[in-house]
Amino acid sequence: MNRTIVIILVIGLILVPIGVGVAVARATGEIKDAFVPALTAALVWVTAFYAVATGQIMESSKRQVKASERQAAIMLESQLNAAAPVVTFEADLSDPYMIRIYLLNTGKGPALNFRCWIEDPEHPELRVVSRAILENVIPVISGSYTYTEWHTIPVPERYTLRLGRSGYIRAQYESIFGKTYESCLMFPTDKSPQLEWGAAQEVIKL
């Protein structure tokens, strides 16, 4: 209970009984008749003030708990992201029967349970194991690097011509904390391919 609340309590405890006592004494013409009403007013004031003060304390405690929960969530998210893998890749679309993918993990932790496939709302049949890249671990690259290893995704004949209209390359993988991230290589019309990365909003199981 802070100083302001204590001052209000004391002032009210003095003024309320006096005011009630004076009013009763004037009404009855007897000072002795004012004692009981004044005492009752004092008890009512203390009870009401206690109820209000308790409510404020509880509300303040709730705000502190929420603030602590938000802080804990931020700290947990920071801890999770401290080991987040970031898989980038380049795609070679020169072959109409397969897409060649070059993988590179530039994040802060290994990419576990890696799977990469063609995502196309118009062709959901492409989201199958037989048309996906599957790797247990994509380690973090360090130092200078070149694209020396490549993987392939088999595609129907001439399907690559439709990438950019509705299809794109999508990969999902987990961090060592079990959080799922994803990388998507988009092919916007008349623009260079663009890589999008972030926490997966929908976890796909092939």
The answer on pLDDT for 142 being more than 80 is no
Give the C-alpha separation, 109 to 46, whole Å: 60
* Least confident among 32-46, 97-111, 190-204: 32-46
Query: What per-residue confidence (pLDDT) applies to 77?
Result: 62
Mean pLDDT of 183-195: 87
What's the pLDDT band for 111 if we cut at 50, 70, 90? very high
The 10s digit of each residue's pLDDT in 58-93 is: 877 777 777 666 766 656 566 666 788 999 988 888
Mean pLDDT of 184-188: 89
Q: Is residue 206 part of a domain?
A: no
What's the pLDDT band for 163 if we cut at 50, 70, 90? confident
Q: Is residue 205 part of a domain?
A: no
* Among 206, 202, 149, 200, CA closest to 174: 200
Query: What per-residue confidence (pLDDT) applies to 145?
Result: 56
Residues 8 and 71 occupy one common structural domain:
yes
Range of the domain at 139: 87-199
> How far are the Cα atoms of 57, 119, 183, 194, 200 from residue 163, in angstroms, in the given order?
59, 10, 16, 12, 21
End-to-end CA distance of the chain: 59
The 10s digit of each residue's pLDDT in 10-48 is: 676 677 767 766 776 677 766 666 677 777 877 887 787
The answer on pLDDT for 183 being more than 80 is yes
Query: What per-residue confidence (pLDDT) applies to 24?
Result: 67
Residues 93 and 186 occupy one common structural domain:
yes
Number of domains in the chain: 2
Residues 67 and 120 occupy one common structural domain:
no
Domain boundary (79, 105, 123) is at 79
Pinpoint the alpha helices (H) of the chain.
Answer: 3-28, 35-81
DSSP 45-74: HHHHHHHHHHHHHHHHHHHHHHHHHHHHHH
pTM of the model: 0.62
Give the C-alpha separation, 117 to 204, whole Å: 11
Which range of 19-33, 50-64, 131-145 scores highest in mean pLDDT? It is 131-145
Residues 23 and 91 occupy one common structural domain:
no
Residues 122 and 138 occupy one common structural domain:
yes
Give the C-alpha separation, 83 to 179, whole Å: 10
Q: 118 — alpha (psi -120 to 50), left (phi > 0) or beta?
A: beta
Residues 116 and 158 occupy one common structural domain:
yes
- Provide, rounded to the nearest whole percent, the portion of the chain with pLDDT above 70: 74
Instruction: Specify whether the CB–CB gap between 204 and 172 falls below 8 A.
Output: yes
Q: How far is CA 109 from the centre of its chain?
A: 20
Residues 15 and 73 occupy one common structural domain:
yes
